[in-house]
Amino acid sequence: MPSPIDFWFDYSSPYGYLASERIEAVAARHDRAVVWHPMLLGAVFKVTGERPLIDAPLKGEYSLMDIRRSAREHGIAFAMPELFPIGAVAASRATLWLRDHEDAARAARAVPLIHALYRAYWRDGRDISTPSSVLDIAADTGVERAELEAALGERSVKDALRAEVDSSIDRGVFGSPSFAVDGELFWGHDRLEMLERWLASGSW
Amino acid sequence: MPSPIDFWFDYSSPYGYLASERIEAVAARHDRAVVWHPMLLGAVFKVTGERPLIDAPLKGEYSLMDIRRSAREHGIAFAMPELFPIGAVAASRATLWLRDHEDAARAARAVPLIHALYRAYWRDGRDISTPSSVLDIAADTGVERAELEAALGERSVKDALRAEVDSSIDRGVFGSPSFAVDGELFWGHDRLEMLERWLASGSW
């Protein structure tokens, strides 16, 4: 199997949510796996000096319209949550702890948890910023609650998120969603088509 | 014929150049005309607080790579000019004066001038920021040099550019290139495909 698609996303990113609903089909069509990388745009913005998209004059209004339009085009259920943006630290730590778990059965629950968290927030308007909300949602996907609760307090799990965020910046990732395949970086939900053309043709 | 596609572009925008090489084919496939709107991102950035893309950490490096990759994908000759960004006031005034000329033969020279200016800068690396360079390039496309030189000094031509820029901001345009069709706004060279899908399907 060829090398996987790296997929970076912030739970607070609506375009990240849209891409999370589509990336597996793209990968499957080209015999690729997906490596899911939760990231924190807040940490990236400290490097880039950017600010949340929706706060920007003109661009923010356009983006809200465009996110809804993009969801409609791809048939993805979407509703702008009242609480926005939210902190994604707990959600991201839970995701990394599962993704990198040495027990394969637990590691296999990472992607279902990602979808459950993203949909809880961007489809159902639930707050996913608190540890207790993350624990509730994780428990619904079959993750053992007490075990995850303990993990969220562990230094190694906190360090893992810090390392993941640093590594995303080292890779040149500055926005959510971003994709990389065979060393080639693509930024933006609207670049999934370009990623597919790249996967199909090899290069230009 | 259905309503035209409005196309906003800044001569200083590499993605605007790429879109300028593709928009006519998109329009022709869907029986639409193109209305070409030169704009000044500098004026828009005063409203939005944005800054030139290429200056942004991480995003700037990505963009340079992505512009070259996008040009290769679409077979468009491109070379990053040494002088960047440039002022597009003279080029934009010349464009508007021709576009809105009451003499249809002169007005018909506007689109060839747009391509000549864009290619001079983004393909051939020529400075297109000075009135004399704009006059040289315009003369090469058959525009009467003395007549254009006089026009560039006219208050009505200066006012026309100011009005065009204000009007683009009123329409919610905040980036180059932008497209609008039937009231629907799209931003970015990478949204030409989405614009085409919109033109094909009517809406989502």
Q: A36: pLDDT confidence band, cut at 50, 70 and 90?
A: very high
- Confidence at residue A167, expressed as pLDDT on a 0 to 100 scale: 95
- Confidence at residue B56, expressed as pLDDT on a 0 to 100 scale: 78
- Confidence at residue A48, expressed as pLDDT on a 0 to 100 scale: 78
* Best-predicted range by mean pLDDT (A113-127, A190-204, B40-54): A113-127
Mean of pLDDT over chain B: 94
Distance CA A128, CA A66 (A): 23
Residue B54 has pLDDT above 80, yes or no: no
pLDDT tens digits along A95-121: 999 999 999 999 999 999 999 999 999
- Interface residue A56 vs chain B (CB under 8 A): yes
Mean pLDDT of B43-60: 79
Q: From the candidates A47, A54, A55, A62, which should be mutated to test the interface with B, based on the most B CB atoms within 10 A? A: A62
The answer to whether B179 and B5 have CB atoms below 8 angstroms apart is yes
Closest-CA distance, A72 to chain B, in angstroms, reads: 6
Mean pLDDT of A2-19: 97
Burial tier of B172 (Cβ tally within 10 Å: 0-12, 13-18, 19+)? middle
pLDDT tens digits along B101-129: 999 999 999 999 999 999 999 999 999 99
Pairing of the two strands B34-38 and A5-9: unpaired
- Confidence at residue B190, expressed as pLDDT on a 0 to 100 scale: 94
Distance CA A128, CA A136 (A): 9
Q: pTM for the whole thing?
A: 0.93
Mean pLDDT of B128-149: 97
Which chain A residue's Cα is nearest to B44? A58
Contact yes or no for B190 and A190 at CB 8 A = yes
In the stretch 17-36 of chain B, residues with CB closer than 8 A to chain A read none
Distance CA B170, CA A53 (A): 19
Mean pLDDT of A49-68: 84
Tell me which CATH code domain A5-201 carries: 3.40.30.10
The answer to whether B165 and B40 have CB atoms below 8 angstroms apart is yes
Q: Which residue has the higher pLDDT, A166 or A43?
A: A166
Token digits of residue B182: 């039937």
Token digits of residue A112: 């279902």
Residue type, A183: G
The edge-to-edge listing of strands for the beta sheet with A184-187 is A34-38, A5-9, A178-181, A184-187
Which of A42-51, B2-11, B48-57 shows the lowest mean pLDDT across its residues? B48-57
Mean pLDDT of A128-137: 98
Contact yes or no for A172 and B72 at CB 8 A = no
Domain spans, chain A: 5-201
Q: If residue B38 lies in a helix (H) or strand (E), which one and from where to where?
A: strand B34-38
Q: Tell me what percent of the residues of chain B surpass a pLDDT of 70.
A: 100
Mean pLDDT of B159-180: 95
Residue B51 has pLDDT above 80, yes or no: no
- Interface residue B175 vs chain A (CB under 8 A): yes
Residues in Cβ contact with A34 at an 8 Å cutoff, skipping those fewer than 6 apart: A4, A5, A7, A23, A24, A27, A111
B177 conformational bin, left if phi > 0, alpha if psi -120 to 50, beta if neither: beta
pLDDT tens digits along B64-113: 999 999 999 999 999 999 999 899 999 999 999 999 999 999 999 999 99
Residue A57 has pLDDT above 90, yes or no: no
Chain B residues lying within 8 Å of A190, measured CB to CB: 188, 190-191, 194
Which of A5-19, A80-94, B35-49, B174-188 shows the lowest mean pLDDT across its residues? B35-49
Q: How far is CA B103 from CA B97, B98, B135, in A?
A: 11, 9, 19
Q: A50: pLDDT confidence band, cut at 50, 70 and 90?
A: confident
Chain A residues lying within 8 Å of B8, measured CB to CB: none
The ipTM value here is 0.90
